[in-house]
Structure formats: C-alpha cells, structure tokens
Amino acid sequence: MSKNSVRLNICGIECVVGAVDSETYVKGIAKEVADTIEHLSQENEHASATVTATVAALSYCDDYKKAAADAEKLRAQIKDYLADTSRARLEAEEAQKEIGRLKKEVASLRARLGEKPVDQPAPRANAPIQRTGTYTKTNEEIPEQEGFVNLFQKKDSKGSKEDKHDKT
C-alpha cells in the first residue's frame, strides 16, 4: 500500500497528511473535524482556536473509546453465540445418534416379539391426512336445509312452520 499525501485546510490551518486511505476519504474526515471545531467556536465565541480544537479532539477520542468498547462487547456476544451454536450442533448430532440407536433397539425388540417391522414412519401431527376411496351421500342422508329464522321456530307435527309463524 502506498501512502497518499493530502493537503488539508482545517479552520485556516494548512497541513499535509500522509494517509493510506483515499484522498476523498481523508478530505471528508478533515471537513467533519472542521465542522465540529466551527460548531464549538460558535457555541462559545470567547474560546480560542486551541481550546475548540482540543474539545473537538476530546469529543472524537471519547466517541472512539465508546465505539471500541461497544465493538468489544459485540465480539464477546458473537463469541458466546458461536459457542452456543457449537454446543447445540453437538447436542443435535448426539440426539440423532441416539435416535438411530433407539430405532435399532425397537427393531430388534419387535423381531424378538415376532412383529413385522414397520417400514412407514408414524404420521406427523401437522401432516395432511391422506384419504383413499370415495364416499358419497345419497339424497336421503342429506338433511333438509333450513333458513336462519326457521331454526328458532318450534317444529310441530300437527302444524307447519308457516302456521306457527302466522300465529305469532
């Protein structure tokens, strides 16, 4: 990597900086620093350029330290998550081995009892039910359709539904 010499002007102070980063990036950083110093000097008009530059440097250093601490916390969390994932993967592998062992044991016990081995796995609770064959209702099995109002009327063997409705 080659170093780039970048000429900067920050709040009237000119300097040349050697950087590995691109000139555009370095000038962007310089503009951000200049904006911060200018903002601080507007907040306190009596502060000297040295004081505002020092406060800006303290602010950026504080931000850096906090960001570095946050990054370290995130690294530790990721490390814990990776460890948890590895443990879970090992537990899953052990469970699969145990399932295989238990299947063999069940097969050998069934063989001792003289049962036929079960080739099909048991259906899962969420699996769709497969139906074979057909079934159709005859006309006699279908109950007479009743309307909503008719459900609340009493059925009487002597009178029809209409008669009950007319009497009320």
Distances in whole angstroms, Cα of residue 138 to Cα of each of 132, 133, 168 = 19, 16, 36
> Domain containing 62: what range?
4-91
Rounded Cα–Cα distance for residues 7 and 16 (Å): 4
What are 157-166's pLDDT values in tens digits?
554 444 444 5
- At residue 44, the 3 state secondary structure works out as coil
Residue 122 lies in a domain: no
What average pLDDT does the chain have?
Answer: 81
The better pLDDT of the pair 131, 52 is held by 52
Residue 158 lies in a domain: no
What are 37-70's pLDDT values in tens digits?
999 999 998 989 899 999 999 999 999 999 999 9
Residue 41 lies in a domain: yes
Mean pLDDT throughout 79-94? 96
Residue in 32, 7, 10 with CA at minimum distance from that of residue 18: 7
Residue 87 lies in a domain: yes
Rounded Cα–Cα distance for residues 111 and 109 (Å): 5
Given a cut of 80, is residue 101 above it in pLDDT? yes
Vertex 136: Cα angle to 130 and 138 (nearest 5): 160
Rounded Cα–Cα distance for residues 155 and 110 (Å): 59
Residue 34 lies in a domain: yes
For the chain, percent of residues with pLDDT exceeding 90: 57
> What is the per-residue pLDDT for 125?
60
- Count: domains in the chain: 1
Residue 137 lies in a domain: no
CA 157 to centroid of chain Cα atoms: 64
> What is the per-residue pLDDT for 88?
96
Given a cut of 50, is residue 168 above it in pLDDT? no
Residue 143 lies in a domain: no
Residue 25 lies in a domain: yes
Rounded Cα–Cα distance for residues 18 and 158 (Å): 109
Residue 10 near residue 30 (C-beta atoms within 8 A): yes
